[in-house]
Chain A
């Protein structure tokens, strides 16, 4: 993955987890290149990308600030979901699973879940198209 996208994802991840919120100042280009030893244009490109996504905005002479939010799930809901996960993790730990096992199980379940969801949404889409198609045919007739 290109370096600038890694930076973008890092900011997005921090927004999701609530580490960054609207109005927070992002590190300056100089701070970032010094910390990471990367090309300044890479940082500028990442900030432009965040701007395009409506997540950050530059204020001349002041820096780049978080302007939007990615959180569709509130912090309270997030913490509830996290509690659920924690209790599942304890169960897994009690059952004698080590972290690699847990990660493998989680990744496999994620894949399963995603596939099922994709199949379901594809079916819904197909149904909609069929419905739409029959209406059109009726219209033509």
Chain B
């Protein structure tokens, strides 16, 4: 089952396209990281999936053909917006009661047990909670309806390192316990490698990269060697991003197989997830989307299909 499927999806605000020509299919059972710089269209995409926005063009379905925002979809998808909408003046216990009335399925015992585990008292007002506690409360409410898919917009952005670690472990535990699929956006790339096993990279409203992390890493390499223009002449190498540092060039390249030959005089290394993401973000023209993508670097630095 695909949890999110889109075809030619686009959304315009006034004259600006926040998201354009976005076609993808994200299978269930993954921890999906949606990555891109500010203004890339991450929030727009997540809001479209949650049914909070309507597409301007194309279409998007969730949970194998459901319409986003339909009663069916809302019951099965948990959504936590970037500024986790909570009522600041309410005590935590009342916040749970509000959430219970807004949701058709609700496991209140579980929510209270979770908060007790975290040491968040029910009589404390929401505005008296720390940032980390507020994030945990929002997550508690989102998982209390036992969703199949949990969507979080920048869940880690406002948290200190300790609270981030705690929230990530809560999220990972929820994935194991409920077997839910997780989709979250982030502009912090360095922490993704530990938690994400599926990557979607958006840049300037367009989809650049989508796929399983393991697969993507197996298909890319970092090549280091002599710079200059000669490197692109004879070799059929798909260069995603090239960086010249003194006499040396660092290339992020796409390989068709793990044992692709390394050009003479070059050294090959596996790429980290961070190097992969940054390499693509620096060359907005580069794409690698599911399906066949073969390109030669005939003097071109970025590869476009």
Contact = CB atoms under 8 A, between A and B. Distances in A.
Q: Do these two chains interact?
A: yes
Interface of A: 3, 29-30, 33-42
Interface centre among B166, B176, B194 (most CB of A within 10 A): B176
Contacts of A35: 169
Given A33-B173, A40-B175, 19 more contacts: A3-B193, A30-B173, A30-B176, A30-B177, A33-B172, A34-B169, A34-B170, A34-B172, A35-B169, A36-B194, A37-B169, A37-B172, A37-B195, A38-B194, A39-B31, A39-B172, A39-B194, A40-B31, A42-B194
B117 to A, nearest CB: 11
Contacts of B172: 33-34, 37-40
A50 to B, nearest CB: 18
Interface of B: 31, 165-166, 168-170, 172-173, 175-177, 193-197
Contacts of B176: 29-30, 33, 40
16 contacts: A3-B194, A30-B173, A33-B169, A33-B173, A33-B175, A33-B176, A34-B169, A34-B170, A34-B173, A36-B194, A37-B172, A37-B194, A38-B195, A39-B172, A40-B175, A42-B197
A43 to B, nearest CB: 9
Contacts of B168: 37
Nearest to A28: B176
Contacts of A39: 31, 172, 194-197
A128 B166 CA distance: 58
A43 B97 CA distance: 36
B149 to A, nearest CB: 16
Nearest to A35: B169
A38 B197 CA distance: 10
A52 to B, nearest CB: 17
B115 to A, nearest CB: 16
Among A29, A33, A39, A42, max chain B CB count under 10 A is at A39
A141 to B, nearest CB: 40
B255 to A, nearest CB: 18
B135 to A, nearest CB: 14
A76 B173 CA distance: 40
A116 to B, nearest CB: 28
Contacts of B166: 37
A35 B166 CA distance: 9
Nearest to B270: A2
A36 B169 contact: yes
Contacts of A41: 31, 197
Nearest to A3: B194
Contacts of A34: 169-170, 172-173
| Residue of A3, A36, A41 with highest tally of chain B CB at under 10 A | A41
A41 B175 CA distance: 10
A46 to B, nearest CB: 13
A34 B117 CA distance: 13
